[in-house]
Amino acid sequence: MSVGGAKTHHFEASRLFSCANQVALITGGGTGIGLMAAQALASNGAKVYITGRRLEALETAAKTHDPSHGGQIIPIGPCDVTKKDDLQKIVKELEGKEKYLSLVMCNAGVGGPKAPPEQEGGEELKKNLWENESVEAWNECYNVDVTAVYFTAVACLPLLQKGLKSEGKGGPFERFGPSIITTSSMSGLMRDSQGHFAYNTAKGATVQLTKLMSAEFLKTGIRVNSIAPGYFPSEMTTKASGDDQKSEMPHDMAKDKGHVPIERGGKEEEMGMMVIFFAKNEYVNGQIVAIDGGVLNVLSS
Q: What is the pLDDT of residues 243-283, one digit of tens each?
A: 766 667 677 777 778 889 999 999 999 999 999 999 999 99
Return the C-alpha torsion angle 180, 181, 182, 188, nearest 10.
Answer: 130
- From residue 147, give the alpha-carbon distance in Å to each of 54, 78, 193, 209: 20, 19, 21, 9
- Which regions in the chain score pLDDT beneath 70? 1-5, 68-69, 167-170, 235-242, 244-247, 249, 301
Catalytic residue among 49, 142, 199, 231: 199
Instruction: Tell me the pTM.
Output: 0.92
**Helix or strand (DSSP H, E) at 50:** strand 47-51
pLDDT at residue 169, rounded to an integer = 57
What residues pair up with 24 in beta bridges, in sequence order? 48, 103
Domain formed by 9-298, architecture: 3-Layer(aba) Sandwich (3.40)
Contact 186, 292 (CB under 8 A): yes
Catalytic residue among 47, 203, 246, 280: 203
248: Cβ–Cβ under 8 A, 6 or more apart, which residues?
A: 233, 238, 242
Domain boundaries, the chain: 9-298
203 is catalytic: yes
Catalytic residue among 184, 214, 234, 241: 184
184 is catalytic: yes
Characterize the bridge pairing of strands 223-229 and 288-291.
parallel
